Structures are given as C-alpha cells and as structure tokens.
Chains A and B, each alone.
Chain A
Amino acid sequence: MPSPDALIAMMPEHFLLVGIIVLILLEVVSLSARAALWVAILAVSAAAGAAIFLAQAGFAPSAPFPGLLSVTPAIFMAKGALLALAVPVLLMSRSEFKDGEFSILLLSSLYGLCLLPSSDSFLVMFIGLELLSVPVYALVLLAFRRPQSAEAAFKYLVLSGAASATFLMGVSLLYGATGSMNVETFAQVLSASDMMSRAATVLIVVALFLKAAIVPFHAWAPDAYEGASVPVTAYMATLIKGAVLLAAVRVFGVVNVSGPVADLLLVLPLVSIVWGNLAAIRQNSFRRMIAYSSIAHAGYLFYAFLGAGDSRQSAVVFYVVAYSVVNLLAFALVPENTRDDERDSLDNFRGLYRRDPLAAGLIGIAMLSLAGLPPFPGFVAKFLVFRNVFAAGHTTYAVLGLIGSYIGIYFYLRVLVLMFMSADDAEPAGSRASSLARMAGVLCIGATALLAIMPGWVIARF
C-alpha cells in the first residue's frame, strides 16, 4: 500500500503527528510544561526543516496519493515557511499558557495547515480546513483571562461553521455539475457559463472569503481576535490566514482568473482594504486593530490572485510570509501586563520606548512594515501584489487599492507615536515582554532582515 514516496511526501505531517502523540503522552504523565514546549518546538522545527529540505532536494513524487494529495517542491517550501512561522508563536505562548494543551492544539491545527496546499481533492481540503480551525475554537478561549473569550470563541465557531457549510454547498454543487471531487474542477469551470457551476465557484470563493475575513464576511475577525489571547491572535492573524490563502491558491490552480469570480476578487478585496484600514483608525485595542489590519491585508492577498496564474503561489506565499513575520514580531514584543485587556490596550504602548527600547524599535519596524513602507518586507510584498494586479491590466483597481493602503499608514503611525512620542513618563512597572517572547522577536527580526535585504532570493525560492 503506502510506497516510500508516500511516506516521505507526508514527512512534515508525520513529524507533527509524532509531536502530537508525544505531547499527549507527556500530558498523560503530566511532565513539566517546559518540556512540552520544547517538544512542540522541536516537532515544528523538524517538520519545517523536513519540508524545506524536501523542497531544496527537489522531491517531487508522482502522485503518492492519487487524487487526494500531491506535493511539489514549491508546496513543500510553502509548508516549510509557514511551519517555521509557528516557532515564534510557540515561543511567545509560554507566558500565556502554562500547560501542554496549547501545543497539542497548535500542532493539530498545523497538521491541517499542511494538508491544505497539497490537497488534490475537496475531501482532503475539507478535512484540512476543519482540522485547521476546530482546535482554534478551543485555543481562543483556552487562556480565558476574561469572559469575552467565550463570546469570541462562539462567534468564531458559528461563523466558521457557516463558512464550512457554504464551502460544502459549493463543493456539492460543483460535484453535481462535474461529478468529481477534484480541486482542479474548480479552475476548469471558472469560465464556464452554466449557472450551477458558477454558483458553485461563487460559494467556494465566498467560503474562503469568510475564512480569510474579507468584507462583508469579516465581522467575526475583530471580535474573535480581541477575545483571544496574544499568541492565539497572532496565530489566527498570520498562519490561519496564510493557510486559507494557500487553500485558495490550491483551488484556483494556475489559471488566470476571469468571469464573475474575477469581479469578486476585484471588488471585495478593495472594499476590505478600505474598510479594514479605515475601521482600524479608531481602535483602542491592539488586537482589534491588528484584526482590521488583517482584514485589509486579506484584501491585498486576494488581489494577488488577479495576476498571472503561474506566479500566484509565489506571490501569495511571499506576501503571507512577509506579513506574518512582522505581525509575529509585533505580537512577540507586546509588553506583559497582568490584566489581559490592559495588555491589549494601546495605552499599554504609551512611552514604551522609555521602558523597553528594543521592543519599541521592533514593534515600530513591524508597524511600518505592515503599513507597506520601504525598506521593510511589507513593501516588497505589497509591490509584488500590485505589480501582478497592474500586469493583469486592472489599473484602476490597483490604484484604488494603493490609495486604500495609504489610509492604513495612519493607524500604524499612531502606534509609533504612542511608543516614541508620548510624553507620558509614568511607566507601569515590570511591563516587558517575556524573554522567550523576545527570542521569538529576535527570530522574526532576523527573518525580516532577510526578507528586506534579499527579497529576490526569497521569492525565487517560493
């Protein structure tokens, strides 16, 4: 039955699975939480390393799981990059989670993440999506430092469930129209004219929009992000979004988008960009602000679909990585506070430069990068996306999108103003990010520097 190829093809997943099992065992014998964290990091690093190694080795088996799962070096690279991003998340979770469940759930979710970019069949993709999100419902309220966490989890669960149902409905209609569960059918019927397959594509896209929080399907995101704890929000804002986008890349394949779906991909992301950036202006909660920012970034990400199909994956992966790295950087260095809502409040950043110059500097870099300003990687990513949009000939939308991105600069600057320029010298005591989180920050800044200095090299790898 399973050939060695099949075994190797799922190597990253296997590492994760091993990690999950070891963690569960550890949990059962209730060994120290510290060990659990390191096991998780080890597992994730091994998985990421395996993925990257396989990508570098050019491992491309022919159909290890015919019709269900396939891998190419590019897919391995994407997996590897995203898995590597999970390391900082784990590192920064230390301060919030004292026991091992977090790691188990995170690893399970990552397992789902790994399935998405290589799924050939909607069956696998559906499992991947569910595996990605179900543990997160639990993660959202896992820290439970305030009652709103439950509210957040419930909202997330219900709308995510609705997204799953919508996705299934779309898949079902597609199945009805073509008789196949293969993801490629989506791309094939994109330009079809019959109503049912058209409805099917629209429903699938809507479901992806829902998961990625595109206006008007975004409403769960700010609430869920705010209710969750810092590492979980970081995870949701970066990896989950990235995974959903990878799924979308998988679904769209390499065809150039046209027809009604292209319209959706033009209009709704644009609305998201503007809406997200505007709504973020008045936020006073850091996580909520990032949520709106992530809505806007989801907009940019879907813009990337408009370009030539063959460069889509590298564009999306690069954007996701650039965006995630700096987002994680910001989250890693959010100063500690005993009260979660105070930690979250932007006032917590007031005068941060005086208290913790490193954190202020790195968060500042993160904010500027999120704003898409050079020379930070966010700019290259933005450039990449808009270059594709221009190349596809959607000049007006590209310009509007850029102007929308301009709106966002203001609220990112606001964070900088608070950190560096507020005269408030009364400093809350002992409020620095934990040392592990700082380590995560350092990892992220290293990655940021790499992305900033050698974007060409990195893109060539994706």
Chain B
Amino acid sequence: MGESLVLNLLLWLPVVGTVLLLVIRGNASLARVITLGVMMLQLIMAVWLYARFDAGVTGLQFATSLPWIPQWGVSYLIGLDGFNILLVALTAFLGPLVVLGAHRSIEKDVTLFHAMVLLLQFAMMGAFVAQDLFLFYLFWEAMLIPMFLIIGIWGGSRRIYATVKFFLYTAFGSILMLAALIYLVQSLAQTGGITSFAFADLYRARLPLPAQTILLGAFALSFAIKVPMVPLHTWLPDAHVEAPTAGSVILAGVLLKMGTYGFMKLGFPLFPDAARLFTPALMTLAVISIVYGACLALVQTDIKKIIAYSSISHLGYVMLGLLSLELVGIQGAIIQMVSHGLVAAGLFLLVGMIYERCHTRELSDYGGLARLLPVFSVFFMIFTLASVGLPTTSGFTGEFLALLGAFTAAWPLHVAGQSYPLILSIVAVLGVILGALYMLRFALTFLFGAVNAPHQPLSDLSLRERGILGALVIVIFALGLFPDSVMAKTENAARAYRGLVTTSRLPEQLNSGPELVP
C-alpha cells in the first residue's frame, strides 16, 4: 500500500504544483523553481519506482484501485506494468529538462506556462498509468488542452492555425474512440455480464470479427492520428513548427508515444482477431510512414519540420515492431519509443537553443555552426547520429530490434509463399538509408561549410544547456549500450502483448479464423 502511494503521489504532484502556481501568481522565477522542484521530485519518485519495479511479476505493480463511478463500472485504477514503466520513466525524465529548457525562451505569462506544463505532465502521466479505459480516455483527452494552450499562447506566427489543427485533428480520433469504447463496454456488459472499464476485464471481451474490425478501426484512427501515421500526419509538422521549444519537446518526447502506447496497450490486445486481419494493412501504413516521413524530411527548409517529419518516420519503426508480434520486434518497438522520445527531445531542445540565439528556423540561414559553437555541434552530432540509428546509441537498439522482429516474422510467411510482409520489411530496412540521408543533409548544411549565422557572435551552450543535453546523451548511450536491464523490465509485458494479440477472442463457436501470424 505504501508503495502504491508513491505512484499516486507521482501522478498528483503536478496538480499540487499547479495549485501552488495559481496561488503565488505572477512571480516568474518562483514559478520556475516550483515547477522544477515538482518535476525533480517526480523524477526521483519515478526512479525509485523504476528501481523497485519487479521485472519478474506479470501483473500490475504499485496498483491502486478505488471505485469511482460504480454505476458504470468505472474505477480509479492505476498501476505500473511493463507496458508503461519505461514511458512513465521517460515522461518523468523529460519533465525537468523541459522546464530547464524553457528557462530563457518563455518570457510571457511564465506562471501560466508552467502551470500548463505541469498539467500536461499530469495528464500524460495519467494516461500512461491508467488501467481503466474511462480513466485513460479522460487523461488522453485532457492532454490536448494544455498542449493547445502551450502552442497557442507561446507559439510562433501561425500558432493559432497550428494549434486548432492539432486540437481538432486529434479530437476527431478521440471522438470515434469514445464511441468505440462505449460500444465495447456495452457489449462486454451484455455478453460477458460484467460492467467494467478495467483493461484486464476488457481483455476478456469476446466480439465477432465485424465488430472487432469496426472498433479497432475507431481506436486505430485515434491512435494513428496521435502517432502519427501517414496519411494522418499533417497536423504534426505545423504543430511542431509553431510550438515553443518546450511544447515541441513534450510533443515529440512523450505525446507521440501515446499513439503507439495506445496501439500496444489497447488497440491490438483488445481486438486481436481484427488486429491480425489488418496487420498487412497497418504494416503497409507503417512502412509508408517510414519512407514518406523520410522523403519529406529530406526536402524541408525549416529545421523544426525536418525533425517533425523524422518523427513520423521513426515512429513507423515502432509500429512495425509492434505488428511483428515477435518478442524481439516488440521489445525493439518499446525501446524505439523511448529512444525517439529522448532523441527527438534532444534535437528539439538544440533547435530551441539555436533559435533563442538566432531567431530563425530557416535551414539556409545557417552554416558552419561547428566552427562557431563547438559544444553545441558535438551535441547536435550525437543526437543526429542517434536519430540515424548509429550503433551504441538508443536509436540503433530500437530500430535494429524492431526491424529484426519484422523480418523474423515476415520470413516464414515468405517461405510459405506470402511475400508481401517480407517486401515491407525490406523497404523498411531501406528506410534506414533515407534516415541517414536527411539527417546528414541537415547536419551538413547546419554545422558545416562556410560560417553563416544571423546574430554573430554567438555564445556557446551555457552550463545549464550542457547539463540538459548531457543528461539526455547519457541515457541515449545507456540504452544503446546496455539495454538488457531495461528490456528485462518490459519482457513480461511484451510476452503478455504477444499472448493477447495472438490468441483469438472471437465468440466461442466462430473460433476458427485463419491464423495469419504464427
């Protein structure tokens, strides 16, 4: 009981922080200190939880379950398992970095900004730890609001367009998900006789294939928008470009993971038969995302857009890994999620730092920064290479395992005469080339060549900035070099996921659909 209290504290601390901020009102530096303090506390608790998390246990740990809306079977059910432990840790880890990173860039309405960051943190954390569909949906939607304000108030010149687009796009998916989840719970109540929103109960719902298909469609739409998968991605570049650095970091670092997490925790396990039926289609989309995102990143002239499109590409690998239903691929996908969170966050922070100095995001306005800002460039290079997926960085671990999983899953099918998944995984591997192409083009123009930057002379990174990036770099290398202990924590979840998705849950008499993935 005492331990689950820590998780509750971790979750609710930002709310306390927000209230504090609202009470003090107006004092900018105090607001920063409070927010940072909350984030640090959260990080400490997350580290503690991570350390105490028992990799050998399959079910929930640190769980709290309280009835909340008993009439509908809704409960306040939170807990950690292998699915979310890493993402919770990632969220907690990025928190202080975001606050520190925004230290100089946010000058207007500092208190409100920090309140929004805290609320966003709360909502994201909540979505990860929620083990009840209603609760999850609540947090899932609640996330939009602070993000909407963060982009809309502190964003760039087209911020309103971007933020409304972001909001409406993601809300559209959510509304269908809402419909689907109500339907799901209703049918569970009618066929299974239990009225419950708890994931564990919903995993027992048996639905005929057409229903599964439609419901998965609704969930998948919502998640795919969040991921985002091509062709539902156009909100992302706009949102990223207009968002302030902190917004971009959170968006890329954590928010996008919501989509893939949703697929992993809900979309596929809830509707396994439909998921397997649609695996080829979804894999196609994932691969298209990989290639499409990379191609578009190649021709962007706005530095934030490059990273934005690269996110689309990178999350394609996550989807691919998840869809492989191979342990290796699933683990790879999980690591890739975390890795992308770290790398994209780092890149956005770097871009933010340079933007603070030069006030332009046009790639062509820059050149030869390696000469002007050596430390900056070293960090930039590290993050670029991690993004490219160079071995020893986390990007490699994720991409390699995800691709390995996809390939391993596709090969037997190829041998059995069904070559399409294999072709997809080969194309995905080729996507690695494009990854190098666009990131290095970026680095080339940005860092090398004749010195060219507005607002010279530039000061190199301050100690604060070095600290932020250094922390990220350490974790990136740690994940690249020693992923084992991390993956041990998620191994059970990966197994559980595979078990759920590979077991048919059609109503009893129809339980003989074609097995698409062995």
Find out whether A and B make contact in their complex, taking CB atoms under 8 A apart as touching. yes
Chain A residues 406-460 with CB under 8 Å of chain B are: 406, 409-410, 413, 416-417, 420-421, 455-456, 459-460
**Residues A460 and B159 in contact, CB atoms below 8 Å apart:** no
| Residues on A with beta carbons closer than 8 Å to the beta carbon of B176 | 399, 402-403
Known interface pairs A386-B179, A417-B160, A421-B160. Does A368 touch B145 (Cβ–Cβ under 8 Å)?
yes
**Residues A410 and B71 in contact, CB atoms below 8 Å apart:** no
User: Residue A25 at the B interface, CB < 8 A?
Assistant: no
| Residues on B with beta carbons closer than 8 Å to the beta carbon of A420 | 149, 152-153
A391-413 CB contact bits vs B (8 Å, 1 = yes)? Answer: 10001001100110110011001
> Which one of B138, B164, B179 lies within 8 Å of A402 (CB-CB)?
B179
> Which one of B70, B164, B178, B186 lies within 8 Å of A417 (CB-CB)?
B164
User: Residue B168 at the A interface, CB < 8 A?
Assistant: yes
User: Residue B460 at the A interface, CB < 8 A?
Assistant: no
> Which one of A373, A387, A410, A416 lies within 8 Å of B182 (CB-CB)?
A387
> Which one of A383, A410, A456 lies within 8 Å of B178 (CB-CB)?
A383
CA distance A386 to B137 in the complex (A): 15
Known interface pairs A421-B152, A456-B69, A456-B71. Does A406 touch B172 (Cβ–Cβ under 8 Å)?
yes
CA distance A21 to B409 in the complex (A): 82
| Residues on B with beta carbons closer than 8 Å to the beta carbon of A405 | 175
CA distance A180 to B48 in the complex (A): 72
Chain B residue with Cβ nearest A386? B182
| Residues on A with beta carbons closer than 8 Å to the beta carbon of B171 | 373, 406, 409
CA distance A391 to B182 in the complex (A): 9
Select the residue from B67, B70, B145, B172 with max chain A CB neighbours within 10 A: B145
Chain B residues 368-391 with CB under 8 Å of chain A are: none
User: Residue B482 at the A interface, CB < 8 A?
Assistant: no
> Which one of A368, A390, A399, A403 lies within 8 Å of B186 (CB-CB)?
A390
CA distance A405 to B186 in the complex (A): 21
Known interface pairs A410-B168, A413-B167. Does A456 touch B70 (Cβ–Cβ under 8 Å)?
yes
| Residues on B with beta carbons closer than 8 Å to the beta carbon of A421 | 152-153, 159-160, 163
Known interface pairs A398-B179, A417-B160. Does A409 touch B69 (Cβ–Cβ under 8 Å)?
no
**Residues A379 and B141 in contact, CB atoms below 8 Å apart:** yes
**Residues A409 and B152 in contact, CB atoms below 8 Å apart:** no
Chain A residue with Cβ nearest B190? A391
CA distance A84 to B448 in the complex (A): 69
Chain B residues 59-86 with CB under 8 Å of chain A are: 67-72, 74
Q: Shortest distance in angstroms between A203's beta carbon and chain B's nearest beta carbon?
A: 33
Q: How many residues of A contact B (CB 8 A)?
A: 31
B125-146 CB contact bits vs A (8 Å, 1 = yes)? Answer: 0000000001001111110110
CA distance A456 to B159 in the complex (A): 38
Chain B residues 109-135 with CB under 8 Å of chain A are: 109, 112, 134
| Residues on B with beta carbons closer than 8 Å to the beta carbon of A417 | 152, 160, 163-164
| Residues on B with beta carbons closer than 8 Å to the beta carbon of A375 | 138-139, 141-142
**Residues B138 and A413 in contact, CB atoms below 8 Å apart:** no
| Residues on B with beta carbons closer than 8 Å to the beta carbon of A403 | 175-176
CA distance A413 to B138 in the complex (A): 18
**Residues B168 and A456 in contact, CB atoms below 8 Å apart:** no
CA distance A421 to B182 in the complex (A): 34
Chain B residues 145-200 with CB under 8 Å of chain A are: 145, 148-149, 152-153, 159-160, 163-164, 167-168, 171-172, 175-176, 178-179, 182-183, 185-186
User: Residue A374 at the B interface, CB < 8 A?
Assistant: yes
Known interface pairs A406-B171, A420-B152. Does A374 touch B179 (Cβ–Cβ under 8 Å)?
no
Chain A residues 365-391 with CB under 8 Å of chain B are: 368, 373-375, 379-380, 383, 386-387, 390-391
Known interface pairs A410-B168, A413-B164, A421-B160. Does A460 touch B71 (Cβ–Cβ under 8 Å)?
yes
CA distance A111 to B140 in the complex (A): 43
CA distance A383 to B141 in the complex (A): 13
Chain A residue with Cβ nearest B111? A357
Sorted from nearest, which 3 A-B pairs have the closest CB atoms? A456-B69, A374-B138, A374-B141
With A386-B178, A386-B182, A420-B149 given, can you name 15 additional A-B contacts, CB distance below 8 Å?
A353-B109, A374-B142, A380-B69, A383-B134, A398-B182, A402-B175, A402-B176, A406-B171, A409-B171, A410-B164, A417-B163, A421-B163, A455-B69, A456-B71, A460-B70
Pick 20 A–B contacts, CB within 8 A, sort by A: A353-B109, A353-B112, A374-B140, A386-B179, A387-B182, A387-B185, A390-B186, A399-B179, A402-B176, A402-B178, A406-B172, A416-B148, A417-B152, A417-B164, A420-B149, A420-B152, A421-B153, A455-B69, A456-B67, A456-B70
